[in-house]
Structures are given as structure tokens and as C-alpha cells.
Structure 1
Amino acid sequence: MLATYKLDREFLSLLEEPQLRLFESEFKIKKDEFLGIKFDKRGYTVNDKIEQIIDSKIQTIGFFSGAGGLDVGSQLAGSKVISSLDFDRDSVATMKRNKYFSHSTHFHKDIKEMSALDYSKIIKENNPEKLILVGGPPCQPFSKAGYWVTHKNRLGSEDPRNMIGNYLRMIDELSPDGFILENVESLLHPKNKQAVQDLEEAIEKLGYKYIIYRANALDFGVPQKRKRVFFIASKNGIIGEPTKTHGSEKELLLNKDLKPYERVIDWIGKFDDDKYFEPEESTAGKTYDEELKQIPPGKNYFALTERDGHPNPKFEANKRFWSF
């Protein structure tokens, strides 16, 4: 369903000339009170897809599940999630309230406290023909978000928040047919070379063949640039790797099977309504309040840097870990 996002023209008066040109290069500005941006109200549900996996004998156990990202992906790929785990209470409550996982057992525990014995009954009752583990161990030790910490202070594989070792322990104890280990792309940064080598050696010692796959969520229909690295492992070897489904305008000209990148506004534009307003989320009077007002729609803090021509740069490009 098409709709129009109305932007008050007063906003444009807050932009410096270079930032205004950035905005005008992508949007046609009309000489009326409001600037209208057409968008499509899109939505998606998985609750109507339970029947597709409820009898599947390919089954998954999820770790570090959070709100269920990898778990949802597993079931959309045809693998029934029989259990999830997270140490955050709200995350577990979210999984329990999600009808898509009404058949699953959800643990509110720290993976360090878990062993194969905790899953013996679940596995026996579900009797999977193929068992897969999925998990994205906490990534703070390897994340770009920690670049403000000096390399001397970055612990990496020795960081107590690093749960990769505990995930490998569960893989060893449960001996699944395959598993996925997801982490931030920064894991492959040269400074983490030893940690990656140790991980590769551990996977091989456990008897798995694997590939390391870098992926950008944008290439798979998610309206967000989010780069991740996946260790995809199987006892029987890996046949191939995921094929991207979306691409840029240039890529679409070369590959007719690709779909255009999704736009953020098509998925969340409908929430720009008073009924969704949450006072605690307002940036008024808070850190970077004024800076946020000066960023053109569709841009981020780069618009306030010398790189993008700002006359009074507020930031330096590529020096911030966030991208408001």
C-alpha cells in the first residue's frame, strides 16, 4: 500500500549548503509546505508458516538467541527449532511469546551453565534425523564498537565476554550434523588473526568441514547495511554458499535474477505516527540532538564531516562506530 512521508520544509533550513545539495541530489523538492516522499507500507509475518516446519526432521538448537534472528532464519530454511537459549530475561520472554516458536523449549540460562544433559530429553522427544546448532556468540571483543579501546586493552579471544569457547564446547558435547557460528565481520581483522586460527583449528579437531562466508544483510532483502561473518560447518562437507538475492541498480543490469535493495522507509515509514511515539526515545536535549537535526534523510554522521563538504565538521569520517 502506497503512502507519503511528509517532511516539514522547516527542516531544510537547518541544513548547511553542502548537506542541502546532498539531499536535493536524491529528492525532488516541490514548492509547497511539505516535501512528500512516496513509500510502500510493507510488512511480514512468519506465524502463518509454522505448518511448513512443525513435522521437519531437520531440527535446530539455538544459542545466544536474543529475539530470535538466527532461529527465525533456521525455520524459514526448513529446520524446526526445538530449543533456544539466552541469559537475558527479556529476550527469553520475547521468544516464549512468539507463536512461531510455540513448539520450542526456551532456556533462560548462561551457556556456561549448560551441558548436553540439559538437551537429552528434548532431543529424545523430537528425534531429529539431522541436528543443527546455530549461534552468534557475544561479539564485543571483536566488534568495531570497541575501536575506541586501544589494541593494548582489547582482549579479543581472552575477553571474558568471549563465549566462542563455550559454544564450541556445546558443539563437542552435542555432536550435531552441522552448525553455524555467526559473528561481526571485524572478527576477520588482522589483529584477530590468532583468534581465527584457533577457531579454525578447533572446528577441524571436532571433525567438521567448513567455509567462512562474509555476508551483508542488504544483499538478502534486509533494509540495512549489516555485515557479518559466518562459519558454516558440516560433518559431510559444504556443497556451496548462500547466493545473494538483492543488489544495486548496476548489479540488476547484469543479473536479472536479483531484486533491488530494500528501502528503510518502506518498512518503518508507517511508524512515523503519534500513536507510536515513546517519550523516552526522544533525542530532544540529549547528546547529539542538534547534530541529528542537521543530517539529511537517508544519510548518517558522514554528512557532518569534511569528507562530505561540511563547512564546520563535527566528526571525522570512519572514526565513529555508530552510523546515526
Structure 2
Amino acid sequence: MNSITNRDIVHDAALDSLDTMSLDTYTFPKERLKKQLSNPEKQPLVLVSCGSFSPPTNLHLRMFEEAADYCEFETDFEVVGGFFSPVGDAYKKAGLASAQHRINMTRIAVADSSTWIGVDPWEPLHKEYLPTVKVLDHFDHELNTVMGGIDNGKGEKRPIHVALLAGADLIQTMSTPGLWASEDLSRILGHYGAFILERSGTDIDDALVSLRQFRESIRVIPQLIQNDVSSTKIRLFRKRGKSIRYYIPDKVVDYIYEHGLYSDDEKKQADKGEEKASIDGAASSQGVSAS
């Protein structure tokens, strides 16, 4: 794919440059949300996935689909929307491409492959690191305070429930003493709840033991077809000059090659920027599970 076509994709995905965006001009990306419930007896749900997405993989996309199926067949929820919320540049992590690139890639990933998954740039528009609980509060505010909820199909508005969508590795960090503030965990798991996709090589049961007070609000989604693709492995393949195609969306692969992301030269450039302001160790461990 040539560079013009890739830029067209970014434009079609409604992405402005972060240089021209600000919190003052920010508008919530609600275009892909359902306008009303299909079943007025169901509880409307929006799934939010917070993470690095450096780069986004097919497993990140598949996670939303698995959760939607689980909700339809196993719960009283009706999924009315889903969002990627990429972490901002203040989150200093090895292999983290710029927020601009990661927003571009996530929007390219969903542009043609989904009609209901969107990308919200609100989090990376902040210069400071935002813990996950503040991101979920933001979605709750936009969906229910600003929008007033969703039409239940009878001309009445119904509040939309917001929940965190993540892989099993996130639950492991939540069960590790000292990594998460207790008040944040209480609000994330107690108030919002989480849908957690099983991941090969990750033991969820041990993590759930220490989080048993939130067990009813942590819904574990079985991964019926095992998939252990991760952003970390994609970056490693890239640095070794190996193919990354078919592990991540084709157009994201094209974007990575076009911009030279995750090569050794890119890493050297990233290393030069690590002398800038970093965030507290305690804060840096909260909420970024997508490797």
C-alpha cells in the first residue's frame, strides 16, 4: 500500500493530528454508538479497553468480539459500543510509540473491520498520566451526563453502564499488593466492573482469590481458540526483521513499515526522549495492560 492510501485511511478514520487537537476542542467520538437498545429489557453497556496498543493486534480487536458474544449469551447486558483508549505519552514504557502513531494505528485497525468499536483520544490529549479510574469516569460522564444515556426503544433514556475490557494480565497486576491504589480498585471493580479475556500462560484463578470481594463484577471470558499474540512479540519480530503480517491488521502493518516503527532506529530515537519527565512508580503501574 502506498503512503497516500494510508493517509487516506487515517483521514477516513476521522483522526486529526494531536498537534491540532486539544482538550478545549475535544468532542466525544459517539458516531459508532448504537442510537437505541435492540432489547429494552437489557442493560446497555459500553466496553472500554485501556492500554498501550503499541501496536494494536488482532487479539485486541478479537477481545471486543469475544466480550460482545459473552454479553449476548451469558448476561443481561446489550453492548451498545466499544472504545480503545490509548495511554498518553507521559506513560514511559519500553517500546511505546508516540500517542499520535498509536491513535492512528488503532483507528486504522477499526476503520474497515468494525462498525461499533471506536477510538477516543481524550486520554492521550493530557500531558500528564491518567489512571484508569479517571478514564472510566470520563466515559461515564460523556455517556450519561452529557448524552443522557441511550433510548431504550420506548422513547425513554436509560443510563449506560461502563465496564473495563482487558486481558488476564491486568487482573494479575490488580492482585499484586501495592501496584494499584485500593480506592481505585474499589471504584474500577466495584462500581464499573471488568470483562477479562483469558490468556494462555496466565493463571486467573490465583489472581481472583485476592480479589474475591469483587468476584461478582469480574466476568472471565473463556478464550475458546487460544491466541497469545502480543504487542511485545510484534515489536520483537519487527526488530529482528521478521514478518509481522497476519498477526495484526494488514493496514496497520503497512502503517508501521511506512513510518519505520519498532525498528532499531526507532528505538534509538525513543531512548533519546526518555530523559524527559517521568511519572511516579505507583501511578505508572495502574491501568495499562495492553503490552
Q: TM-score, normalised by structure 2?
A: 0.38
For the pair shown, which has the larger CA radius of gyration, 1 or 2?
1
Which structure features the higher share of strand residues? 1
Q: TM-score, normalised by structure 1?
A: 0.35
Greater RCO, 1 or 2 (C-alpha within 8 Å, sep 6+): 2
